[in-house]
Homo-oligomer: A and B are copies of this chain.
Amino acid sequence: MPFERRYIQYKHLVDAYLQRFVKDAQPPSLYQPVRYILSGGGKRVRSVLVLLACEACGGSKRDALHAGAAMELLHNFTLVHDDIMDHATARRGRTTIHKKWDENTAILVGDELLALAYRALLKTQSPRIHDVSRVFTEGVVEVCEGQAYDKEFETKPNVRVDDYLLMIQKKTGKLVSVSAELGALIGKGTKQQVAALRRFGEHVGRAFQIQDDLLDITADEKEFGKTIGSDVQGGKRTFLYLEALRNARGSDKRLLLSFARNGGVPRKNIKDFQRIYLETGAIDAARTRIAHDLAEAKHELRHLRRSPARDMLHWFTYMLLHRTH
């Protein structure tokens, strides 16, 4: 089966699981928005990665489905709470929970998504359930810490590229590496395989986030499902921004600095940022970094035996590099 079709099949498995999981739950004030967010699409990248990592170690994807769904629930928990904190109005082309309902609802829905994530995870039947739960929990702790760093950066005067990389490793990378590690644990991978898949996830996670930064400034708005340049308007110091700041001179540098001072720039300046990011080599640096991380990720796959699942993990990194949304 071609990789794309198989990916969609795995994604459907997860979607169907999630739908079933919250179908008749009460009360409506809580579960209506929960169902809304879970039916809002999303690529289910983390879930599919759990299933593939499990298969690549010799396990069955069915065994990993609970954990796969758990990762998606956990991911949605972070989205709902981050959207409140960022005052975001749209997500995946739809109104965010705190806008469609209110902030109190969004706080509670996020909490519930995290609780449901554990409920799904703990349906896993595995002699390694203690490790599975611990790895998952360290993911939750780090994602909160990453979000705290991200918020600190908004008002911190000097953020360096390295600070940024630490932050995204916690905020974004960790959940990708947890996904791969959980799959490996459930698939009864060897110690070496579990570690290799964790590192695979770290690289993929970082590449994924830098790609996100890149798409925010280079993507096609309709395809992307989010407003282009929202990072620039919102004053978010991304990999691109920090790279550009290192190399920009004169009026370009002043514009970059004013952005940090004012917490963003007006919509009309987005094209200036697009130009500056190109001219300073920030876009090239991002592309190089992504390619490097994905190469490292692929290299980790040597610890796995050849299998259709391993081939698909290979393809997975390729797909991430070429995604448009």
Listed in ascending order, the chain A residues whose CB lies under 8 Å from chain B are 26-27, 29-30, 77, 81, 84-85, 103-105, 107-108, 110-112, 114-116, 118-119, 122, 129-130, 133-134, 137-138, 140-141, 144-145, 147-149, 151-152
Indicate if the CB atoms of A137 and B122 lie closer than 8 Å. yes
Residues of chain B lying within 8 A (CB to CB) of residue A81:
107-108, 111
Indicate if the CB atoms of B85 and A148 lie closer than 8 Å. no
Indicate if the CB atoms of A111 and B144 lie closer than 8 Å. yes
In whole angstroms, what is the CA distance A129 to B134 when docked?
11
In-complex Cβ contact of A85 among B27, B104, B118, B152 (8 A): B104
In whole angstroms, what is the CA distance A84 to B103 when docked?
10
Indicate if the CB atoms of A122 and B133 lie closer than 8 Å. yes
Indicate if the CB atoms of A107 and B107 lie closer than 8 Å. yes
Residues of chain B lying within 8 A (CB to CB) of residue A111:
77, 81, 110-111, 114, 140, 144
List 9 other contacts, CB 8 Å, given A27-B152, A30-B145.
A26-B145, A27-B148, A104-B151, A107-B110, A111-B144, A114-B114, A118-B140, A122-B134, A129-B130
- Max chain B CB contacts within 10 Å: which of A26, A111, A140, A151? A111
In whole angstroms, what is the CA distance A103 to B87 when docked?
12
In whole angstroms, what is the CA distance A77 to B118 when docked?
16
Q: List 25 A-B contacts (CB under 8 A).
A: A27-B148, A27-B149, A27-B152, A29-B151, A29-B152, A30-B144, A30-B145, A30-B148, A81-B111, A85-B104, A85-B108, A103-B103, A104-B151, A107-B110, A108-B144, A108-B148, A111-B111, A112-B148, A114-B140, A115-B137, A115-B140, A116-B141, A118-B133, A118-B137, A122-B133
In whole angstroms, what is the CA distance A299 to B105 when docked?
39
Residue of B nearest to A137 (CB): B118
Indicate if the CB atoms of A84 and B107 lie closer than 8 Å. yes
In-complex Cβ contact of A130 among B104, B122, B138, B144 (8 A): B122
In-complex Cβ contact of A112 among B107, B116, B134, B144 (8 A): B144
Q: A81-B107, A85-B104, A108-B81 are known contacts. Are A141 and B115 too (CB-CB below 8 A)?
A: yes
